[in-house]
A and B are shown apart, each in its own frame.
Chain A
Amino acid sequence: MTEKFISIEGIAKRYPGAGGATTTVFENLWLSMARGEFCCVIGHSGCGKTTVLNILAGLDAPSEGAVIVDGQAISGTSLDRAVIFQSHALLPWRTVLGNVAYAVSSKWRRWDRAKVKAHAQTFIDLVGLTGSEHKRPSELSGGMKQRVGIARALSITPKMMLMDEPFSALDALTRGTLQDEVRRICLETGQTAFMITHDVDEAIYLADKIFLMTNGPGAVLAEVVENPLPRDRGRTDLHRHPLYYALRNHIIDFLVMRSKTFAAETPGHDPRNVPVVHIGKPGLTVASGGDDQRQAWIPGSSPGLTA
């Protein structure tokens, strides 16, 4: 995919530290996504994943660099970019319908009450909460709350969805169901999605591309892993795919070992041309810079890749 729907161009985030020093969470970060792509970011806590997401959402501003969405540099938040919060962030004094309707009426200010309600109801039905419209968030389970969060994000028909560990607070069963729902909805609506997760299996199931980030401070985007599994993958036979374990091992090896030592071991790492890893295919292409800058990839430098 050559079209860059979202392009993060050399952003940095610095905080003033003690004694006039500055703490750099990350700097010179380049990253791009195509329209309709589902991308997951994996990295240890403190590598600035949430900051990247907040910058994409417009909730936070980068210290340097720019983010370009659909050909335009972003400044501040936008109804084009919906956020699904980790803590669901529902307004507890509003009902399910009220929470979704709040988003709908924020996007279409001139709509009358009936139209807002009907539109909100469509998305409540979509996430399977029909019948719970008039409940308050306190009456809902964690999974149902997050469904409302998803319905609220989808109801404004955004150009992209930003998800900050949306399922991390849920039990395994609920998480699985919601992953299925999100995958179905994103495939049906062709959503571009950017998701932060700690869960390797979640990333493998959902993502087209997985961004691996090294440990902070001074975190860098180490690799972009292309998901070799077919787009119509199912949860039940996912682990039978011949490349599944190679992919999984590659990510886990990165998280366990290479995320700490990456910066020291890879002195020539070019943040503008992050290596793209194609599991099971010989050769390594370079992201961002285009397909002309192919590099030779030495088998064996990363265990588990040659399955």
Chain B
Amino acid sequence: MTTSSLRLRAGLVSIVLLAAFLGIWHLAVRSTAPVATMSPEYAKLMGLTATQGKSAMPGPFDVGVKLWEHLKRPFYDNGPNDKGLGIQLGYSIARVGAGYLLAVLVAIPLGFLIGMSPLLSQALDPFIQVLKPISPLAWMPLALYTIKDSSISAIFVIFICSIWPMLLNTVFGVASVRKEWINVARTLEVGTIRRAFTVILPAAAPTILTGMRISIGIAWLVIVAAEMLVGGTGIGYFVWNEWNNLSITNVIIAILLIGIVGMLLDQILARFTRMVTFPE
């Protein structure tokens, strides 16, 4: 009863805050500048900003109308510089997915090995400590030079940025499995492989999934920057392209969509984390 009313009240406050934000935005971008008189030819070149004193920043209604246009036709393709937002987001998600899955395939088995072996753990520690803080975009030139394919380079950048949180969390999760659970497996003469799958993996799964959740967030942050550099397709390229077109409306729409997709990716991983979490 109290929780439902709390949710209701919180929802109401959210809506009020949104309305206030949209209202302030609308008021802030109203026509304010003086209207200059000029020849019609010149006025055509200058656009509404000069002729009607309209702010260069679009208001919420402009964005809403444009967004509706995009949502109606998300998958159109009019050539390299004019594709639907659905297609652009699809490219970005596909790149993130590919780089991220590669990172999962490397980080989790490797993390398992490192976590189970104190020798490997100490031997690899300096490498991980040095590689971890490198900005993923710093790898871009090296990737472009060696791979010679901009699209695969972007995937590599996603791979390299999402591997660290997963690797470190897997190592930590595996290394900190409770001794008593390991002892249970030992007294039952459970072999190493079976122990890894029936005791260590379930015990470390919540920590591993937390690492995977951090990684997907970082990967989605990085893909926008990587696509701005690489160009061609993707939501990051779309943002940069629309900036070059001076379409602030489209840039705002892209920002909104990047946020929503990032939230959805995070929610998916959060759901997986809840599935493997066990109450003690």
| A136-B279, A138-B279 given; A79·B188 CB < 8 A | yes
Question: For the complex, is B147 an interface residue (Cβ under 8 Å from A)?
Answer: no
User: B189 contacts which chain A residues (CB < 8 A)?
Assistant: 77-79, 106
In the bound complex, residues from chain A placing their C-beta under 8 Å from that of B199 are 91
Q: Is B41 an interface residue (CB 8 A)?
A: no
**Bound-complex Cα distance A36 to B276 (A):** 43
- Contact of A83 (CB < 8 Å), options: B187, B202, B280: B187
A83→B184 CA distance, assembly (Å): 8
Q: List residues of B (181-201) whose CB comes within 8 Å of A's CBs.
A: 181, 183-184, 186-190, 198-199
- Taking residues whose C-beta sits less than 8 angstroms from the other chain, chain B's interface range is 10 to 19
Q: Across the interface, do A57 and B187 meet the contact criterion of CB distance under 8 Å?
A: yes
Report B79-137 residues with CB < 8 Å from chain A CB. Answer: none
Q: How many Å lie between the Cα of A138 and that of B188 in the bound state?
A: 22
Flag if A59 contacts B202 (CB, 8 Å): no
Any A CB within 8 A of the CB of B278: yes
Of all chain A residues, the one with the shortest Cβ separation from B184 is A89
**Nearest B residue to A87, CB-CB:** B180
Nearest chain A CB to B166 CB, angstrom units? 21
Contact with B along A103-123 (1 / 0, CB 8 A): 100110000000000000000
Query: Looking across the interface, which residue of chain B has its beta carbon closest to that of A81?
Result: B187
Is A245 positioned at the interface, with any CB of B under 8 Å from its CB? Answer: no
A282 in the interface (beta carbon within 8 A): no
Which of B181, B189, B280 has the most CB atoms of chain A within a 10 A radius of its CB?
B189
Rounded to whole angstroms, the CA-CA distance of A156 and B187 in the bound complex is: 11
- A102-B198, A106-B190 known; A59-B183 Cβ under 8 A: yes
Least CB distance from B278 to A in Å reads: 4
> Taking CB as reference atom, which chain B residue is nearest A104?
B188
**Cβ of A25 < 8 Å from any Cβ of B?**
no
Residue picked from B178, B181, B183, most chain A C-beta under 10 Å: B183
> Hey, what's the 0/1 contact readout for B264-280 against A, CB within 8 Å counting as 1?
00000000000010111
List residues of B (162-212) whose CB comes within 8 Å of A's CBs: 178, 180-181, 183-184, 186-190, 198-199, 202-203
Note all chain A residues with C-beta closer than 8 A to B181. Answer: 89, 91
Q: Is the CB of A77 within 8 A of B180?
A: no
Within 8 Å of chain B (Cβ to Cβ): is A92?
yes
The answer to whether A136 touches B278, judged by C-beta atoms less than 8 angstroms apart, is: yes
Provide the bound-state CA to CA distance between A176 and B203, in Å: 33
Residue contact B186 to A77, C-beta cutoff 8 Å: yes
Top 10 nearest A-B pairs (CB, nearest first) are A89-B180, A106-B188, A138-B279, A93-B278, A92-B278, A93-B202, A77-B186, A77-B187, A83-B187, A89-B184
Interfacial residues, chain B to chain A (CB-CB below 8 A): 178, 180-181, 183-184, 186-190, 198-199, 202-203, 276, 278-280
With A59-B187, A77-B187, A89-B184 known, 4 other A-B pairs at CB within 8 A are A76-B186, A77-B188, A83-B187, A93-B203
List 6 A-B residue pairs with CB atoms under 8 Å apart, sorted by A's residue number: A77-B187, A78-B189, A85-B184, A91-B184, A91-B199, A103-B188
Which residues of A come within 8 Å of B, CB atoms?
A: 57-59, 76-79, 81-83, 85, 87, 89, 91-93, 102-103, 106-107, 136-138, 156
